[in-house]
């Protein structure tokens, strides 16, 4: 399949790397590196892979490994959908590497211990990985690097999951951006000035596959071996693996021209649905960016492709923010917002639980939360709606919601999840103003006009017409009875009144209000 994927993605492509670009991407390997180990993490593919390409072109013998890390898995429930997705992807990766003459060594344990064991067992001279940007992952990598030094083994990290990282996009003053639009403009300027295929050039694998080395034990721990079980098909609408990612991309490119119009409506097929594949690296960000750029040059797909490209650039932006401001993991990007007096105590906990379970009494919010709970996916527009409801209607700390999404989202990515929640809380970089408060009824009427999405997850409201379904508590008892709805029984009454909540939020946020600033009407 890897050969087929390569032909699908790069038909007739001639690979030629600028030397300066190659060394800017990859840390230098020791001249004595003869045997290397490529440790796959969130890059579960055998094409266009920076670390794998570096190992194949710089060392004589290349082993491949993946670790089901107990440090992470021990904190997850046995039905975590993401573990099923990863297991599917690892199984496919192992099969594809075998076709290339290699085998994937798969272990279940703590990464620090398992990598050290493999280095000693296989006499590894260098371990190669692709960069991870999350604080805990960086600490793990530093610890492994420290352990490998006495063994005479290099630890080499490559840029792979972003186009630009860390200090590669800076303002004219040489400082990191904190507002997206000027960052995007600088990103595009740098990318386009170098030529389309400079920063997005793929790393060829198949042509260098002769350096891959097989390993005798090709077993893969089963989900049950690790204390997990296969996710129900209804709860995992997306398949893991490279082939599934390629199929989704192919489908999306056939409708990308309308992405700018369709992406906000949860009842229709508007998004790419590639976020979980980006998260685990079964697709290549370089390939996606090339496709987006190419589509911007075709009149029929230009508008949609430009908007989608912006979304991919947002991803780089949030990785950059996390690198320069790791404190955002626990604190507001704008420090003043940490002084906001959030709701607390048993009442806040009850309201938070109602939000989590999709029982707020606001149909669009509830349907969105049920979608998340049942499938691990939530439409991007609904992520904003539900986040704003929790923060600015219920007055609950954004960190509570961020943690819940981290547990539930198939595509959970720390930088993007944190950035999205801080955007909704108005505490992040380039966030919405604190006085901009989504009205959940208006959002419902605008983006689910016919109530199709609501009916999918709240069938008990199905007999209401397209106007009634957005705010059932406003209906007369006779209409509710006729529709088979009993508020407080088969559907909850609203747990808060939006207009009252809005005024409370403006008061709550007054602590960060600038002198002379007026609230928007």
Boundary of a domain, candidates 135, 161, 187: 161
* Helices vs. strands in the chain: H and E counts, helices first: 22, 5
The three-class DSSP label of residue 116 is helix
pLDDT tens digits, one per residue of 451-467 = 999 999 999 999 999 99
Mean pLDDT of 56-69: 97
Residue 24 reports pLDDT greater than 80 = no
Least confident range of 68-72, 328-332, 338-342, 509-513: 509-513
C-alpha to C-alpha distance for 272 and 441, rounded to whole angstroms: 26
Q: Which of 112, 314, 466, 473 is catalytic?
A: 314
Report d(CA 471, CA 452) in Å as an integer.
15
Report the alpha-carbon distance of residue 118 to residue 243 in Å, rounded. 29
CB 10 within 8 A of CB 38: no
CA-based end-to-end distance of the chain: 57
SS3 at position 19:
helix
Catalytic residue among 39, 187, 308, 421: 421
DSSP state of 378: -
Find how far residue 191's CA is from the centre of its chain: 23
By the 8 A CB rule, do 272 and 292 touch? no
Partner residues linked to 491 by β-bridges:
487
Domain ends where: 102, 132, 161? 161
Per-residue pLDDT, averaged over 224-238, amounts to: 79
Handedness of CA 511, 512, 517, 521 (dihedral sign): negative
Q: In 194-301, where does DSSP find H-type helix? A: 242-253, 259-262, 275-280, 285-295
Q: How confident is the model at residue 3 (pLDDT cuts 50, 70, 90)?
A: very low
- Reading the block at residue 404, the tokens are 């819940």
* pLDDT on residue 11: 32
Residue 510 makes CB contacts below 8 A (sequence gap 6+) with none
Q: Quote the DSSP letter at residue 78.
A: T
Supply the pLDDT for residue 19: 33
- β-pairing, 154-158 with 35-40? unpaired
61-69 sheet: strands from edge to edge: 104-109, 61-69, 35-40, 126-130, 154-158
For residue 22, with 0-12 CB atoms within 10 Å meaning exposed, 13-18 middle and 19 or more buried, which class applies? middle
3-state helix, strand, coil in the chain (%, to 5): 55, 5, 40
Find the CATH number of the domain harbouring 156: 3.40.50.620
The model's confidence at residue 25, banded by pLDDT at 50, 70 and 90, is very low
| Residue 342 falls in the annotated catalytic set | yes
Which residues of 33-176 form beta strands (DSSP E)? 35-40, 61-69, 104-109, 126-130, 154-158
Confidence of residue 197 (pLDDT cuts 50, 70, 90): confident
Domain assignment present for 306 = no
The catalytic residue among 112, 311, 343, 445 is: 311
DSSP 157-222: EE--S-SS-TTSS--TTS----SHHHHHHHHHHHHHHT-TTTTT-----GGGGGGB---S------
Question: Is residue 410 one of the residues assigned to a domain?
Answer: yes
Q: Can you tell me which residue has the tokens 């999350």?
A: 134
Task: Classify residue 325: in a domain, yes or no.
Answer: no
Q: What is the mean pLDDT of residues 21-40?
A: 66
Residue 278 lies in a domain: no
Annotated active-site residue 421? The verdict is yes
Domain end point (choices 124, 142, 161): 161
CB 409 within 8 A of CB 387: no
Least confident of 6-15, 41-50, 128-137, 311-320: 6-15
> Does residue 40 sit in helix, strand or coil?
strand
Give the three-state DSSP class for 104: strand
Assigned token pair, 310 = 């912006």
Q: Which of 398, 400, 402, 410 is catalytic?
A: 398
Residue 166 lies in a domain: no
Name the strand (E) or helix (H) holding 498.
Answer: helix 498-508
Structure confidence at residue 31 (pLDDT): 58
pLDDT at 340 over 70: yes
Q: Give percent above pLDDT 70 in the chain.
A: 91
In a domain, 280, yes or no: no
357 φ, ψ (degrees, to nearest 5): -90, 0
Q: Which of 342, 439, 473, 519 is catalytic?
A: 342
Provide the pLDDT for residue 58.
Answer: 95
Residue 520 domain flag: no
Check 251, 380, 466, 519 and give the catalytic one: 380
Question: pLDDT-derived band of residue 196, with 50, 70 and 90 as boundaries?
Answer: confident
Quick one: which of 33, 38, 32 has its CA closest to 52? 38
Tokens encoding 382 = 């609904």
Contact 156, 27 (CB under 8 A): yes
Task: Report CA-CA distances (Å) from 71 to 221, 489, 507, 509.
Answer: 16, 42, 42, 38
Question: Residue 84 half-sphere exposure, CB side, CA atoms within 13 Å?
Answer: 20
Read off the pLDDT of each residue in 52-65 and give the average, rounded to a whole number: 97
Question: Are the CB atoms for 256 and 308 separated by under 8 Å?
Answer: yes
DSSP helix/strand/coil, 128: strand
Q: What is the pTM of this model?
A: 0.91
Torsion 476-481-487-493 (CA) sign: negative
User: What pLDDT sits at residue 29?
Assistant: 67
| Domain of residue 416, residue span | 335-512
- The pLDDT, as a whole number, for residue 233 is 67
- Whether residue 358 lies inside any domain: the answer is yes
State the residue for tokens 């992952």.
137
**Residue 308 bears catalytic tag:** no
Note if 423 is an active site residue.
no
Q: How far apart are CA 165 and CA 153, in angstroms?
A: 26
The average pLDDT across 350-371 equals 98
Closest CA to 246 of 206, 266, 218, 273: 273
Considering only residues 432 and 273, tell me which one the structure prediction assigns the higher pLDDT.
273
473 among known catalytic residues: no
Q: Does the annotation count 400 as an active-site position?
A: no
Q: What is the pLDDT of residues 11-22, one digit of tens each?
A: 333 333 333 333
Q: What crossing angle do the helices spanning 440-447 and 363-375 adopt, rounded to 10°?
A: 70
CATH of the domain at 404: 1.10.579.10
Whole-number pLDDT of residue 431? 81
Q: How many domains does the chain have?
A: 2
Q: Which tokens go with 398? A: 């954004």
Query: Looking at residue 513, what is its pLDDT?
Result: 72
- Cα 285 to Cα 25, 290, 292: the distances in Å are 15, 9, 10
């Amino acid at each position: 399949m890897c050969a087929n994927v390569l032909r699908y993605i790069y038909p007739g492509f001639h690979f030629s790397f600028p030397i300066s670009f190659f060394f800017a991407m990859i840390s230098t390997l020791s001249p004595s590196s003869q045997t290397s180990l490529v440790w796959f993490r969130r890059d579960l593919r055998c094409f266009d892979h920076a670390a794998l390409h570096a190992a194949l072109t710089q060392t004589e013998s290349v082993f491949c490994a993946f670790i089901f890390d107990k440090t992470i898995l021990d904190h997850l429930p046995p039905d975590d959908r993401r573990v099923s997705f990863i297991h599917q992807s690892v199984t496919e990766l192992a099969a594809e590497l075998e076709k290339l003459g290699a085998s994937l060594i798969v272990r279940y344990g703590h990464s620090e211990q398992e990598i050290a064991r493999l280095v000693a067992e296989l006499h590894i001279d260098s371990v190669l990985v692709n960069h991870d940007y999350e604080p805990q992952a960086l600490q793990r990598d530093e610890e492994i690097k420290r352990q490998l030094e006495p063994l005479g083994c290099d630890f080499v990290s490559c840029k792979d999951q972003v186009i630009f990282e860390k200090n590669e996009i800076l303002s004219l003053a040489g400082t990191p951006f904190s507002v997206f639009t000027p960052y995007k403009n600088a990103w595009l300027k740098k990318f386009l000035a170098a030529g389309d295929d400079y920063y997005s050039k793929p790393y060829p694998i198949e042509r260098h596959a002769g350096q891959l080395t097989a390993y005798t034990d090709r077993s893969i721990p089963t989900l049950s071996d690790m204390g997990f079980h296969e996710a129900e098909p209804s709860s995992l609408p997306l398949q893991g693996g490279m082939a599934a990612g390629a199929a989704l991309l192919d489908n999306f490119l056939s409708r990308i021209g309308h992405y700018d119009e369709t992406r906000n409506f949860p009842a229709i097929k508007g998004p790419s649905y590639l976020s979980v594949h980006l998260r685990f690296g079964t697709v290549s960000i370089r390939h996606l960016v090339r496709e987006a750029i190419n589509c911007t040059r075709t009149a029929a797909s230009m508008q949609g492709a430009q908007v989608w490209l912006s979304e991919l650039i947002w991803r780089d932006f949030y990785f950059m923010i996390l690198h320069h401001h790791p404190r955002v993991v626990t604190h507001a990007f704008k420090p003043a917002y940490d002084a906001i007096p959030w709701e607390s105590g048993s009442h806040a906990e009850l309201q938070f639980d109602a939000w989590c379970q999709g029982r707020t009494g606001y149909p669009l919010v509830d349907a969105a939360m049920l979608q998340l709970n049942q499938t691990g996916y939530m439409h991007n527009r609904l992520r904003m709606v539900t986040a704003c409801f929790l923060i600015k209607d219920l007055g609950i700390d954004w960190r509570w919601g961020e943690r819940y999404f981290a547990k539930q989202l198939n595509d959970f990515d720390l930088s993007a999840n944190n950035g999205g929640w801080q955007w909704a809380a108005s505490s992040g970089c380039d966030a919405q103003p604190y006085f901009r408060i989504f009205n959940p009824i208006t959002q419902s009427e605008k983006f689910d006009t016919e109530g199709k999405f609501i009916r999918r997850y709240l069938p008990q409201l199905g007999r209401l017409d397209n106007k009634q379904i957005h705010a059932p508590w406003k209906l007369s008892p006779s209409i509710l009875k006729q529709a088979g709805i009993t508020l407080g029984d088969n559907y909850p009454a609203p747990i808060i009144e939006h207009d009252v909540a809005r005024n409370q939020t403006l008061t709550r946020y007054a602590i960060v209000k600038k002198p002379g600033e007026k609230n928007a009407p």
